[in-house]
Amino acid sequence: MTTLAPFGARLRAAMDTRGRLCVGIDPHASLLTAWGLNDDVQGLETFSRTVVEALADRVAVLKPQAAFFERFGSKGIAVLERSVAEAREAGALVLMDAKRGDIGSTMAAYAETFLAPGSPLFSDALTVSPYLGFGSLRPALDLAREQGCGIFALALTSNPEGHEVQRAVGADGESVAQAVLRRLAAENAGAEPLGSFGAVVGATLAEAGVDLAINGPLLAPGVGAQGATAKDLPRVFGASVRNVVPSVSRDVLKHGPSVQALRAAAQAFVDDVSTVTNA
């Protein structure tokens, strides 16, 4: 099995050639219904296949949200496995949105699930929660580095409730989110053109209020259904905006099941992002 180039380099190349966008594959029950599908495994399969067919050959990143597949049990996970493989085959980078986080010994098993080549759910990158302590992520960070994969750690999430934890300030005056960002920057030290260890920072924030210069990608969910727009990105991310990967799920997915309409919606976001970030 050939080792992949570092994720950060693969992501930078994908953003340069395909534009800057991550589309989430979030098969909400309401979206299945809106697409004229049943809220069952067959509906899930058709939905996910359609999104992959429409977008995997053109958007930089596809981000399946594992929860929407897990709710159908083993059959749903089988759909997720196929979706990941087909999306990667068509050229998209797959960011598995599973937000795993646990004590180190268990984190190692999560890392093997998503980041070990040959695993049925092998993905290019994984979202993780650092709230059992950043050090507990070590097995995932190490396996990702070894295999050319990426990690996205939650720093400042798009939901308002996140701030009570993430904005909390320690005795040394540093916020929890800033500590996560500082540790990510250390993981990315010296990496070119971009590190592989990213942060999740919601596009919905009034302001970041932290140092985002981590030399790694910044996944920005919250664009679209949660109220943020491409125009918010320069304000929230400042000079780090060039490393931002905006993430949209429902505001693209609602245009299905038409493949053409899904493509047009994704392209409209890519164009908006390029207008504001190249201005």
Pick from 130, 202, 216, 256 the residue near ligand OMP by CB under 6 A: 202
- Give the Cα separation of 169 and 39 in Å (integer): 43
24 binds ligand OMP (CB under 6 A): yes
Nearer to ligand OMP, 158 or 175 (CB): 158
Residue in 63, 75, 99, 254 annotated catalytic? 99
Non-local (6+) Cβ contacts of 133 within 8 A are: none
Residue from 82, 138, 182, 250 in contact with ligand OMP (CB under 6 A): 250
Q: Is 200 in the site for ligand OMP (CB under 6 A)?
A: yes
Beta partners for residue 122, in sequence order: none
Closest approach of Cβ 135 to ligand OMP, in Å? 21
Nearest to 214 by CA among 245, 180, 163, 246: 180
Using CB under 6 A, which residues numbered 160 to 199 contact ligand OMP?
Answer: none
99 is known as an active-site residue: yes
Which residue, 56 or 265, has its beta carbon nearer to ligand OMP?
Answer: 265
Which residues ranging from 75 to 104 are in contact with ligand OMP (CB under 6 A)?
97
CA distance 237 to 178: 14
Burial class (CB in 10 A: 0-12, 13-18, 19+), 159: exposed
Site membership for ligand OMP, residue 224 (CB under 6 A)? yes
Give yes or no for residue 256 binding ligand OMP (CB under 6 A): no
* Residue owning tokens 């990967």: 245
Cα 37 to Cα 16: distance, rounded to the nearest angstrom: 35
How many separate helices (H) and strands (E) can be counted in the chain?
Answer: 12, 8
Residue 141 CB, shortest distance to ligand OMP, in Å, is 17
Binding to ligand OMP (CB under 6 A): which residues in 260-279? none
Question: DSSP string of 75-109?
Answer: HHHHHHHHHHHHHHHTT-EEEEEEEE---HHHHHH
137, 153 Cβ separation under 8 angstroms: yes
Choose which of 136, 158, 175, 178 interacts with ligand OMP (CB under 6 A): 158
Query: Is residue 215 part of the contact set for ligand OMP (CB under 6 A)?
Result: no
Binding mask 27-56 for ligand OMP (x = CB under 6 A): ------------------------------
φ, ψ dihedrals at 221, nearest 5°: -80, 165
The SS3 call for residue 154 is: strand
Q: Which is nearer to ligand OMP, 111 or 153 (CB)?
A: 153
Regarding 124 and contact with ligand OMP (CB under 6 A), the answer is no
- In the complex, the smallest distance separating the C-beta of residue 130 from ligand OMP, rounded to whole angstroms, is 12
Instruction: Establish whether the linkage from the previous residue to 64 is cis, with ω within 30° of 0.
Output: no
- Is the peptide bond preceding residue 246 cis, with omega within 30 degrees of 0? no
Per CB under 6 A, the list member of 249, 255, 256, 266 interacting with ligand OMP is: 249
Is position 221 an interface residue for ligand OMP (rule: CB under 6 A)? yes
Residues at the interface with ligand OMP (CB under 6 A) = 24, 26, 65, 97, 127, 157-158, 200, 202, 221-222, 224-226, 247-251
User: Which residues are the active-site residues?
Assistant: 99
